[in-house]
Amino acid sequence: MKIKLNFISIKNQIALFFGGYFIFFLLTVLVTGGKSLLPDTLYVFSALIATLVGLLVVKLYGFKHPRGQVLLYFSTGLFLWFIAEATWVFLDFFSLEKPYPSIADIFFILAYPLLFIGLVKEIRIGKIRWKSQRTLPIIAIATILGLLVFYFGVYSAFNPEDDAISNVFSIFYGLSDLILLFAGLLIIFVIVDYRQGKLFAPWLSILAGIFLTLIADVIFSIYEEAYMQNDFWVTKIDLLWTGGYLFIGYGLALIALSLKEMREKIIANLNGNKKKKRPKS
């Protein structure tokens, strides 16, 4: 039986999918209480969804295309996070090994530089216009957020009671989040120029996803022990990580839709003009 959704635009169908996925995930988290396999599987798959959508956009731009390469770095970073999340869940539920610190962290950490390179490439393509009206507030926000991330994510992350590997990973996560924070704030300059264009909302969504991930990372670094002990409230930061993946996936899906729609319009305009021009008899 085919279900036709013609009465809902494709854009709204995409929003329904990602929104519905998050709500379903939220319900499984609330129903199951603490850590459970079903919500964790949904959590892992949210990273996979974002990855697959990213690869679709890469294909639309072209693998050698500058923007295709931006999103290839993004998608590869997301894929590494998917592997990391899957490894974490496997270790947490099916192995006697602690999921943190573990091999999962290697995949988590490898993703950050790729995401950073993607953001920097997009900044270079986007050509930032430095205006004092925008620059000063962003510098102020960057300073405050940077200090917060540094304090909670790097300085406070060091715990003399933890082993050396845990401390190294914790500090590395904090530094990676700091770098990603600054790249994310810089890209605001690029996307502000996109306002009133189709690309504004997608990039805003991607940024929202990145910032949700950073917030979750910082909270994890503060309450790591409580998280590992499956504290009811602290483990709810999974909602932020999942929300992060879904916002990124949603943004990438909107880019794909925008490219497809614009391609069809451009072709229609070109064909429309060809039809109008007929040779005089």
Partner 1 sequence: MDPISSSEENSPKKSLIEEACKIVYLNFGSGTAQLYRAGLKDKAEKEILSSLEESLTELVGPDKAQLEIKDLKNNI
- Contact residues for partner 1 (CB under 8 A)? 60-62, 64-68, 125, 127, 129, 193-200, 258-259, 262-263, 265-267, 269-271, 273-274, 277
Nearer to partner 1, 172 or 200 (CB): 200
What is the smallest separation between the CB atom of 217 and partner 1, expressed in angstroms? 31
Residue 153 near residue 174, CB atoms below 8 Å:
yes
Cα 222 to Cα 54, 180, 219, 234: the distances in Å are 31, 18, 5, 10
CA pair distance 165, 173, nearest whole angstrom = 12
What is the smallest separation between the CB atom of 164 and partner 1, expressed in angstroms? 47
CA 134 to chain centre: 24
Residue type, position 118, single letter: G
CA pair distance 198, 206, nearest whole angstrom = 14
Nearer to partner 1, 200 or 223 (CB): 200
CA 272 to chain centre: 39
CA pair distance 244, 80, nearest whole angstrom = 15
Nearer to partner 1, 149 or 199 (CB): 199
Cα 275 to Cα 192, 261, 279, 280, 281: the distances in Å are 38, 21, 10, 13, 15
Nearer to partner 1, 171 or 259 (CB): 259
Kindly state the tokens that stand for 94.
Answer: 């099916």
Task: Give the CA diameter of the chain.
Answer: 91
What is the smallest separation between the CB atom of 8 and partner 1, expressed in angstroms? 22
What is the smallest separation between the CB atom of 22 and partner 1, expressed in angstroms? 27
Task: Report helix angle 132-149 to 164-192, nearest 10.
Answer: 170
Residue 60 exposure: Cα atoms within 13 Å on the Cβ side = 20
Nearer to partner 1, 27 or 266 (CB): 266
Nearer to partner 1, 4 or 275 (CB): 275
What is the smallest separation between the CB atom of 113 and partner 1, expressed in angstroms? 25
What is the smallest separation between the CB atom of 247 and partner 1, expressed in angstroms? 21
Q: What is the DSSP string of 109-151?
A: HHHHHHHHHHHHHHHHHH-----HHHHHHHHHHHHHHHHHHII
Nearer to partner 1, 184 or 202 (CB): 202
What is the smallest separation between the CB atom of 267 and partner 1, expressed in angstroms? 6
